[in-house]
Amino acid sequence: MSGLSYTAPSTISEAVALLANEAGLAKVMSGGTDLLVQMKIGRLKPSLIVDTKKIPGMIGIREIGGCFVIGAATSGALMGEHAGLVAAWPGVVEATNLIGSTQVQGRASLAGNLCNASPGADSPPAMIAAGAIAVIAGPNGTREVPVEAIVTAPGRTSLGKGEFITEFRLPKKAARSGDAYLRFIPRTEMDIAVVGCGIAVTLDAAGVCVAAKVSLGAVAPTQLVVAGAAAALIGNKLTDAVLAKLDAECQAVCKPINDKRGTIEYRTKVAGVLARRVAAIAFQRAGA
């Protein structure tokens, strides 16, 4: 790893300048659980690592008027220990806590999970369903984009040179709303999702769904927002017919790969089954 420099700036503007001015390959580091593995196997040879964890706000969770602001480098372990966040957005926390082992949880962050841009990443579908916003700092100031606008292809994001994510914002949880995330893996721990599904719903006083967002992971090059699946839920209770429609809408959008973890047919079928299970949990959490 000769020719590599490391720096841990203490302000956002310093970090932006370092990233923007580096002639070689500059990489942002949060927990390093993807970055350091990729450097070790030689897939990535950065000339500069910009560690953002010394910047105030990059680690930690703040509740502001019911909204949650999560520093981009906050570890999964910290999220799991935050009772307020767990109560408001259990699906987001469960998805994040599925990442790796206890050891990996001590370091792995939302920003790294998203920006590594793996189709099978666990937290993005849950964040997308929850309506999370990413706050991006860069040479031209800050911008806020929905999480689904970050990943453009496997290993690629829409962030420009000098840009990095500083925090994620989860909206104030509506009354009678709930979110959930499940992934399917052939074992119980330490594996990459064959399919992941995040769903968030809001119900009215009668238990009818009035708002929904459905996102699938690992069945296409990027996480998918499944508008047809949300439409199947909105205006309805969770009847067998509605579940069947949800299942079909999810299967219809799948464009998965064939690999050792699952064939195209298998991943597609599992996407529908998983969506049914996730919807049931989200409805139950919303008070149905």
Partner 1 sequence: MSKTHVTTTINGEPAEFLAEAGLTLLDALRDEVGLTGTKEGCGSGDCGACSVIVDGRLVCSCLMLAVEAEGSTIETIEGVATGDTLHPLQRKFIEYAALQCGFCTPGFLVAAKSLLEKNNNPTETEVRFWLAGNLCRCTGYDKIVRAVMDAAAEMRGA
Ligand X SMILES: Cc1cc2nc3c(=O)[nH]c(=O)nc-3n(C[C@H](O)[C@H](O)[C@H](O)COP(=O)(O)OP(=O)(O)OC[C@H]3O[C@@H](n4cnc5c(N)ncnc54)[C@H](O)[C@@H]3O)c2cc1C
Q: How far apart are CA 33 and CA 97, in angstroms?
A: 14
Nearer to ligand X, 161 or 255 (CB): 161
Output the DSSP codes for 220-267.
SSS-EE-HHHHHHHTT----HHHHHHHHHHHHHH--PPPBTTB-HHHH
Q: Shortest Cβ contact with ligand X: which residue? A: 112
Per-residue x/- track, 71-100, ligand X (CB under 6 A)? -x-------------------------xxx
Residue 256 C-alpha from the chain's centroid: 18
Does the protein bind partner 1 through residue 3 (CB under 8 A)?
A: yes
**Of the candidates 4, 17, 174, 248, which one interacts with partner 1 according to CB under 8 A?**
4
Q: How far apart are CA 81 and CA 84, in angstroms?
A: 9
Q: Count interface residues toward partner 1 (CB under 8 A).
A: 30
Least Å distance between CB 213 and ligand X? Answer: 20
Q: How far apart are CA 101 and CA 43, in angstroms?
A: 23
Least Å distance between CB 151 and ligand X? Answer: 11
Per-residue x/- track, 84-103, partner 1 (CB under 8 A)? ----------------xxxx
Residue 8 binding partner per list ligand X, partner 1, none, with a CB distance cut-off of 5 to 8 Å that depends on partner kind? partner 1
Does the protein bind partner 1 through residue 192 (CB under 8 A)?
A: no
Least Å distance between CB 59 and partner 1? Answer: 11
- The interface with partner 1 within residues 35-54 (CB under 8 A) comprises 36-37, 39-41, 49, 51, 53
Q: How far apart are CA 65 and CA 4, in angstroms?
A: 43
135 burial class (0-12, 13-18, 19+ CB within 10 angstroms)? Answer: middle
**Of the candidates 15, 52, 128, 223, which one interacts with ligand X according to CB under 6 A?**
52
Least Å distance between CB 102 and partner 1? Answer: 5
**Of the candidates 18, 22, 33, 177, which one interacts with ligand X according to CB under 6 A?**
33
Stretch binding ligand X (CB under 6 A), from 115-123, 169-177, 227-235, 247-255: 115-123
Residues at the interface with ligand X (CB under 6 A):
27-35, 37, 52, 72, 98-100, 104, 107-109, 111-113, 115-116, 121-122, 159, 164-165, 192
Residues at the interface with partner 1 (CB under 8 A):
1-6, 8, 31-33, 36-37, 39-41, 49, 51, 53, 75, 77, 100-104, 106-107, 188-190
